[in-house]
Amino acid sequence: MRKIVFDIETKNTFQEVGSNNPADLDISVVCVYDYATDRYDSYLEKDFKNLWPIIEKADMLIGFNSEHFDTPLLNKYYPGDLIKIKSLDLLKEIKNSLGRRIKLDTIAEATLGKKKIGHGLEAIAWWKKGEIDKIIKYCLEDVKITREIYEYALKNGSLKYKDGNELKEIKLDTTDWEKEEAVSITHTLPF
């Protein structure tokens, strides 16, 4: 199974576009980890033509809040339909088990012992200042954290978070996470 872990940063906020629809935002960078090549890469909008063949070869897209945010936003740029690729949204899995959403940073700190190196609003400020390298570094780090959380959950069937000072466990049913599904997607390139 070819898995791609991905994350997106934007050029603007919901307030700036006057909408709560992620597809109304603009992408500054997409970062991915490809299990098949064991590589992390980043793609600015001008580079999306190089991203599409990687995404199209994926059997599963893995993200954090990806079903609500990243996939609809990326789908705005993609000439096919990314919804047709199997996806695993770790935040959705957490919410389904726990009954509420928890920040990636909270999960990372309790589960992996590390914190994120920034947040999305900083990435937007960096974009406006032309500090593209900072955005890429931050986005790649989020992809690394998402990958490590995914692997931890797959191995242990759970993730951790802190509730006040108390460390708690979120049980996850990972049974079907890597079950292959038939993929029907409109490809951008001839194969």
Helix (H/G/I), strand (E/B), else coil: 160: strand
For 164, the domain range is 3-171
What separation in angstroms does the CA of 32 have from each of 20, 58, 99? 25, 11, 28
Count structural domains, the chain. Answer: 1
Residue 191, domain member (yes or no): no
Residue 9, domain member (yes or no): yes
Residue 27, domain member (yes or no): yes
List the CATH number of the domain containing 96. Answer: 3.30.420.10
Which of left, alpha, beta for 39 (phi over 0: left; psi -120 to 50: alpha)?
beta
pLDDT in tens, 55-89: 999 999 999 999 999 999 999 999 889 999 999 99
Query: What is the DSSP code string of 17-44?
Result: HT-S-GGGS-EEEEEEEETTTTEEEEE-
Q: Model pTM greater than 0.85?
A: yes
Each residue's pLDDT, cut to its tens digit, for the chain (191 residues) gives: 999 999 999 999 999 999 999 999 999 999 999 999 999 999 999 999 999 999 999 999 999 999 999 999 999 999 889 999 999 999 999 999 999 999 999 999 999 999 998 888 899 999 999 999 999 999 999 999 999 999 999 999 999 999 989 999 999 999 999 988 765 454 554 44
Q: Work out the burial of residue 71: count CB atoms within 10 Å of its CB; fewer than 13 is exposed, 13-18 middle, 19 or more buried.
A: buried
129-140 residues labelled b (16+ CB within 10 A) or e (exposed): eeeeebbbbbbb
